[in-house]
Amino acid sequence: MSLSPSSRVGDRAARAIADEFARHGAPQTGLLVGAEPGSPVLAAALDALAPGDELTIVSDPESATAMSEHLDAQGTWVAGRTKVVTALADARPADVVMVAAPVSTLDGETAKYLESLRAVVKESGMLVLAVPARGPVAFELTDLIAEHGVAEDLVLRNRPPLRVHRLRFGLAKPADAEKLAPAYRPSSVPVTGRMHIDSNGVAAGAIALGAAVLLKRVRPKSKLWLVPALAAAPVAAFFRDPERSVPDENEAVVAASDGKVLSVEHITDDRFGALTGEAGTEWLRVAVFLSVLDVHVNRSPVAGRVVDVFRESGGYAPAMKAAAEHNVACYTVVDTPRGRAVVAQRTGLLARRIINRAKVGALVAKGERYGLIRFGSRTDIYLPADRAEALVAPGERVVGGETVVARWTD
């Protein structure tokens, strides 16, 4: 296995590679492999440096002097927190190991290279690497991703497109998630400083415009092309993804989506018996209905470690009706320092696809984007009834990631 410096890593992919190093709120150690002076990944890693952080750069002997000079030129803030080594074996294990260049998987050295990288990852630390989005991937890397992958970002706006994988070796502590900033999502495309569009919206808008162009060419005298052309902007706007101000209080549980509170109730749900080790556990459930006009990007209501993600089949009843209880749904189970929480993404009459980007083993920050539901739907938050109290009532409007809908009581 080898690095492929000829494959370009743009700013978005670089930010995704360095994000795990950037979003930690506590001092940590980072290790950067395969970077060159002035590379976007090196710049992203240096931007992520905070007081107490240490970053080691592995540079080949021919480039080590130039790398040291480049770091010194950044000033004492950077120079005092970085160092350069000329071999991976000279580096100490780090909390986050970042591979700057896309990884080639075609030269037969995959297993050896992966083992050398794993040797410099601390227990429960993370290895972040990118591979080409298209093309073959070695079995060794595929198996490693399947066993240890806790996050994956597809960066289509890189040339060539890349997949950035985050691999965690060992279990992270749920309490560590309370110190994290929400993960950077390349799937959220910025439009203005505070407004983004999910990549699904960009694709949907492009399809609508493509249909308009096709109709115009096929039937140039017809006005039918105006239908998809005028629909492109509203369709893309459905996938809008605004920035949100997430409350700092660890005890606060925030709304998983925008919408109107349908119900606040205590229920017994045997599907979640395995979560507590016993059947008949009582849960506090806050259900929120999303109309087609609401923001449909879903956010984690709590900070913690994802321990399970599962789907259930069902119908497509209107999401505001009681029958929606049995609709198709995706459940994300999050272990927190105060107990386990579950958030359900439910389909509705028009919603036919649930997108869930959470992976088992990942740490999610409170208010972090983790998925969306298309066209009218419902989100339910489940909390242990004896450890949480609701702060909203049916009929109230809530804002995903901002509105405090419940509070942990112990």
- The 10 Å CB-count burial string (b at 16+, else e) for 24-44 is beeebbbbbbbbbeebbbbbb
Residue 292 exposure: Cα atoms within 13 Å on the Cβ side? 9
Q: What is the pLDDT of residues 220-252, one digit of tens each?
A: 889 899 998 998 888 888 888 999 999 999 999
The single-letter DSSP state of residue 71 is H
Phi, psi torsion values for 280, nearest 5 degrees: 80, 10
User: How is residue 343 written in tokens?
Assistant: 């958030």
Q: Which of 61-65, 320-324, 327-331 has the lowest mean pLDDT?
A: 320-324
Among candidate residues 94, 95, 32, the one with its CA nearest the CA of residue 59: 32
- pLDDT, residue 345, reads 93
- Encoded tokens for 181: 């900033």
pTM of the model as a whole: 0.89
CA nearest neighbour of 308 among 327, 325, 291, 333: 333
The closest alpha carbon to 391, from 374, 410, 408, 369, belongs to 408
Q: Is the pLDDT of residue 151 over 50?
A: yes
- The arithmetic mean of pLDDT across residues 332-338, rounded, is 94
Beta bridge partners of 297: 372
CA distance 179 to 172: 12
Q: Give pLDDT, residue 66.
A: 93
How far is Cα 338 from Cα 391, in angstroms, rounded to an integer? Answer: 17
Note whether 254 and 403 are within 8 A (CB).
Answer: yes
User: Strands 94-99, 29-33: parallel, antiparallel or unpaired by DSSP?
Assistant: parallel
DSSP class of 327 = B
Report residue 392's pLDDT band, with 50, 70 and 90 as the boundaries: very high
How many CB atoms lie under 10 A from the CB of residue 135?
10
Return d(Cα 382, Cα 192) in angstroms, integer.
Answer: 34
The strand pairing partners of 221, in sequence order, are none
Measured between alpha carbons, how far is residue 140 from residues 88, 134, 171 in Å? Answer: 20, 17, 21
- pLDDT recorded at residue 4: 52
Residue from 7, 59, 187, 377 carrying the catalytic annotation: 377
Q: What is the pLDDT of residues 36-45, one digit of tens each?
A: 998 999 999 9
The mean pLDDT of 289-308, rounded to a whole number, is 92
**Which amino acid would we find at residue 32?**
L
Residue pair 298/369 in contact (Cβ under 8 Å)? The answer is: yes
Of 344, 324, 346, 323, the C-alpha closest to 334 is 344
Q: Average pLDDT, stretch 158-183?
A: 91
- Taking the C-alpha atoms of residue 249 and residue 408, their distance in angstroms, rounded to an integer, is 10
Rounded Cα distance between 142 and 209, Å, is 36
For 89-121, the pLDDT digits (tens) are 999 999 999 999 888 766 667 778 888 999 999
Active site residue 377: yes
Q: Answer yes or no: is pLDDT of 166 > 90.
A: yes
Cα angle value 76/14/243 (rounded, 5°): 95
Given a contact cutoff of 8 angstroms between Cβ atoms, the answer to whether 261 and 392 are in contact is: yes
Q: Could you give the CA distance from residue 58 to residue 75 in angstroms, rounded to a whole number?
A: 20
225 neighbors 216 (Cβ within 8 angstroms): yes
Beta-strand ranges (E) seen in 314-364 are 329-336, 339-346, 354-356, 363-364
For residue 276, is pLDDT > 60? no
The average pLDDT across 303-320 equals 88
